[in-house]
Structure 1
């Protein structure tokens, strides 16, 4: 597997990418995952129309930070004018790549004729692509599904049209919108998109392990892969899979102390970025996944009980103490938590 991926004029220093995920890939997560070795971590989905109006919470979702390998801002919308303005603002904010969301299956998104609903209106999807490509000098990419349902799998045709309009890479989740996340991702079907275009194609869906990664690439013929839910509670996964694909090395999961330090780094960064109590509230879902994904305690029932207990704590120091005790540790290494709060503060001020 080659060392990287060329998307327009941007060199991505790896081929294991992390998907844009609402409520997950905020700036604290992106900084942490990047520090752990992820080459590409997209922002949360950003509503183009609200970004154009500079709505504060939407601008926060697109926040960029110092020291990231690159910044990918994903836009969602249905109005070409707003998409163009959103693309201009994303470039001004520092985006290296601008991604368009044609894949989100959430009802609140498709109900507004956005996300994967655009697979049913390919002419509108193409007008959105044209608007974004025309408005920015940055490479524009598209993330889509196989189609709306099994009767209308039109990803290959939409990909051909997207490439003709100037799109520089295409990510395909191997399910239709109507599947949501049920069943299994059809990696072989992504191969139809790969055969239809010459730009890089990225396969997405159900990639959790090194074996999954190899199988997804082999079955799809894709140039790279994208992780989604697999990074929940495992922000190091992209870097581990990158290594496994490069030289076959299967890295061990972080041990107790290393994992605890990662969790606390993430907690402190979330609080630095959002403030209290919002920072702790935003972090709780991550905390739950960290506890679920850890092998301690061995008993799953105990882990679930611990997750429930820790996620009810309302002070950061209580969370740090309880997690340390849960995983049988005593003190936090003084130099183990990197100082990313300053990066987050700078980005928030910008």
Structure 2
């Protein structure tokens, strides 16, 4: 505990004033419940690019700012969606949080540890899943891959067995345990990777596109597992994805970045309100009719018996579906979620930065 000097006791601002001053300066302070603290994070890459008109072999060094002064914090047991369009800086941020990349500026603390300085120490307290890269051994069956993971992390045999059995049950891995990783489908491998990341009981789990390319059934299994993991064990989860359905079903809070800068930090419904985003009802009727007209939605496209209706993303689709089923010859219906790129584009159109 820090000693308080006489000068501080007499003239220093109180805790509330100090917090206000820190907030005004853009500082993110770690509270007692914060597991991840990111303050003024930056990452700059130097690349060589061809200069038009100066020959094929001439290259010019350019600095690319992938992450530009991002600040946020994640409380213990929180599940946060970290989203943005391609090239926004999401994966770069995750790699700095895990210690794979060293920041060009700013400050990171995960469980009180600087990832780039103490990566090995932090590795025992975190799990990572990169959707397009596997951490499993390509020619080994899952069972042998998990045995190697146990030895790497020095997980006690009893705890390893209990964790593995739980993952096998919830992720439906039992039929796959003796199958080489190279023979698994993308969805099966993804479930296998998630299990591998959790065998050592990490405090924080980073998921980079964990449902990419998965079918509906596999997505449901992964989402249900993550929800239970967060609820029952209190595991902190930072989830990056382009699928807003993942965010809606798992996360109460979203952090949005674009071009390396923080654009929004708050609830998903608040993001939709700020971006004025819309969901789409795709309605297939039994026969061609006039454009559907119901309160709360507008018809944006008609092609024969199929019609597209837009409605606010934060609104429920159930009342609209009920009205259509009651008043029109409905054959089929589906709901399409707004693309995150569209949400961010609308935010830019309304003035750019939109903090929660």
The structure with more strand, counted as a fraction of residues: 2
The structure with more helix, counted as a fraction of residues: 1
Q: TM-score, normalised by structure 2?
A: 0.32
Q: TM-score, normalised by structure 1?
A: 0.32
Whichever of the two has the greater Rg, that structure is 2
Structure showing greater relative contact order (alpha-carbon pairs closer than 8 Å, 6 or more residues apart)? 2
